[in-house]
Structure 1
Amino acid sequence: MTKKKMTISDFQTYKEEGRKFTYVTAYDYTMASIVDESECEVILVGDSLAMVMLGYKSTVGVTMEDMIHHIKPVVKGAPNTFIAGDMPFGSYNVSAEQAIANASRMLMETNCDCIKLEGGVDLAPTIARMVKAGIPVMGHIGLTPQTSTSLGGFRVQGGTPESARKLIEDAKAIEAAGAFSIVVECVPSVVAKELTQALRIPVLGIGAGPDVDCQVLVTQDLLGMYGDFKPKFVKQFAQIRKAMVDGLNLFHEETLNGSFPSPEYSFNKAVDIPKLY
């Protein structure tokens, strides 16, 4: 497979042509290189690394340093895949100046292709300032993990006429501010469809039904690498966790019964060892 990296303008082209694409996560060099071998077009180095990589209970504890640390190896591991860096909680909420400074730092220190941040109408003026400063911005509305507590926890958003209208207003404001795409998370399919039809920019849906422009999933979710937790919208396309546990157990078993390492996995050169004792 010869994979051509997407560009910012390709997002709009795909939208206009009705061409679907996919968007997954990676947080380290190895996973990034695996995604780069696949046909998936976009990687998010998400603040979900808080739970996936660092064992936190939520995304709130992740810092700019954490994000930059993880984005750098992903960029190295996936040179043929478009890479978005997630702006962590508190790194863009104070002022447009703060947002521009931190987004610029993320782009300059990691060489990722864009930044992603959460927020709607209230954040639109900041997004406009960032875009004017030359920063490619991907929006994120619906269930926004950084503020999920204030939204009532992990629950579907836009489930009433009023909240659906608010989501559309948020999306239109982000589009008008200059964002080139927008993630819509955990909303009814009918609302996501309406959003997708209402916007000129592509809608990247996670838990948003089939009618969006792009499907988004956390890689560890879709590969079955987690234990118990599986959101309703996640389909597991493989069972990598079980394969990994089986492999570790087989290594343990063969070590204990002496069948590993066999001569095949040993250095078998004859050596005349002098008597030293």
Structure 2
Amino acid sequence: MASQPMTIDQFPVRKKEGPPLTMVTAYDAPTARLLSRAGIDIALVGDSVGMVVQGLENTLPVTIDEMIYHTRMVRNGLDGPLLVADMPFLSYQISEEEGHRNAGRLIKEAGAQAVKIEGGAEIAGLVRRLGLSMIPVIGHIGMKPMGVHQMGGFRVQGRNAASRRQILNDAEALLEAGVCALLLEAIPASLGEEITRLSPVPTIGIGAGPHTNGQVLVFHDLVGWTPAPLPRFVRGFGKAGSVMEDALSQFRTAVQNRSFPAPEETYGEEQKASPRKTAKPKGKDE
């Protein structure tokens, strides 16, 4: 089922009245078409493409050009969901000017309708600057995958008083700077609930408990395409991986036992033209 197109101006209503927002990652047109037919609200072209599609250990090597490439592909297959693109590592940390330019490229060249940026108070200036250019920003706080080395791995954040206070400060700074939504990753449910209560814009959780205004998962995780083990916050809603593996096994068997291609899947020789002359239409001269 295709949904009514989601736009940023609907966020306040969904925050106040619901239902909770649904966000799923997409990296290509076929996946975008699935999200559209399923009525998903937001398609996120995440820098998680580095881990999910490219097979990398983390998201750090992903470039702005790769994000533009994948965002274009998703745009080509999308019909309904809001298109949000991640700003990858070092696409905005060097200077606000460079961050401004790269965010603009994701909107202008790739067709994104908003960008998502990891960071807290330190990116508030960039968020304000993008707002002046009419570029909507979704802030990303809590566990920030770009900080994998600083955190010593992908670890839950906000479990002690200092970390909790830092995340709250980051949320306050981003809200004041004008983000249109907050993505909360891998934090205690109580902290997710507190930020959601304080925030005038929607919160979207991934490992942030059930009290946020929406939830996001990686497409490959939720459809059962990612091998175990998976993070605690992931629920598999399908078995796509095993279905595709079974299809490939059936193909291999059919080729090897020569049952594929069957006669109905095979072209015959071209039919020869009849030697008889075609009758002329009535009323035509010889």
124-133 or 209-218: which moved more?
124-133
Contact 2:39–2:81 (Cα < 8 Å) also in 1: no
What does residue 284 of structure 2 align with? none
What does residue 76 of structure 2 align with? 76
Show CA shifts across 1:13-67 (max 9, x none): 1001132121000001111111111121101000000011112111110111100
Distance 1:70 1:129, change over 3 A: same
Show CA shifts across 1:56-115 (max 9, x none): 111110111100010001011013110101101001112211111111111100111101
What does residue 220 of structure 1 align with? 220
1:2 positional shift:
4.3
Contact 2:140–2:183 (Cα < 8 Å) also in 1: yes
Q: Secondary structure at the match of 1:68?
A: helix
194-203 or 257-266: which moved more?
257-266
For residues 214 and 2 of structure 1, what CA distance do their matches in structure 2 show?
Answer: 19
1:228 positional shift:
2.7
Show CA shifts across 1:223-262 (max 9, x none): 1101233111100000101000000000000111111111
For residues 270 and 102 of structure 1, what CA distance do their matches in structure 2 show?
Answer: 55
Contact 1:114–1:135 (Cα < 8 Å) also in 2: yes
What does residue 196 of structure 1 align with? 196
Gaps of 5+ in 1: 273-277
- Mapped pair 1:60 → 2:43: no
Q: Which amino acid aligns with 1:63?
A: T
Q: Secondary structure at the match of 1:150?
A: helix
TM-score, normalised relative to structure 1: 0.95
Q: Secondary structure at the match of 1:184?
A: strand
1:264 positional shift:
2.4
Contact 1:144–1:185 (Cα < 8 Å) also in 2: yes
Contact 2:141–2:184 (Cα < 8 Å) also in 1: yes
1:30-109 map, 5 Å: 30-109=30-109
Distance 1:208 1:91, change over 3 A: same
What does residue 164 of structure 1 align with? 164
Q: Which amino acid aligns with 1:33?
A: R
Q: Secondary structure at the match of 1:183?
A: strand
257-266 or 56-65: which moved more?
257-266
Which structure has the larger Rg over C-alpha atoms? 2
Contact 1:222–1:235 (Cα < 8 Å) also in 2: yes
- Mapped pair 1:4 → 2:4: yes
Distance 1:18 1:3, change over 3 A: closer
What does residue 275 of structure 1 align with? none
1:204 positional shift:
0.6
- Mapped pair 1:180 → 2:180: yes
- Mapped pair 1:13 → 2:18: no
For residues 228 and 3 of structure 1, what CA distance do their matches in structure 2 show?
Answer: 32
Contact 1:141–1:184 (Cα < 8 Å) also in 2: yes
Q: Secondary structure at the match of 2:89?
A: coil
What does residue 244 of structure 1 align with? 244
What does residue 234 of structure 1 align with? 234
Q: Which amino acid aligns with 1:224?
A: G
RMSD: 1.3
Q: Secondary structure at the match of 1:116?
A: strand
Contact 1:96–1:130 (Cα < 8 Å) also in 2: no
For residues 215 and 47 of structure 1, what CA distance do their matches in structure 2 show?
Answer: 18
1:182 positional shift:
0.9
TM-score, normalised relative to structure 2: 0.92
Contact 2:46–2:86 (Cα < 8 Å) also in 1: yes
1:269 positional shift:
5.5
1:268 positional shift:
4.1
- Mapped pair 1:111 → 2:136: no
Gaps of 5+ in 2: 273-286
For residues 18 and 262 of structure 1, what CA distance do their matches in structure 2 show?
Answer: 52
Show CA shifts across 1:201-231 (max 9, x none): 1101001111000010000000110123311
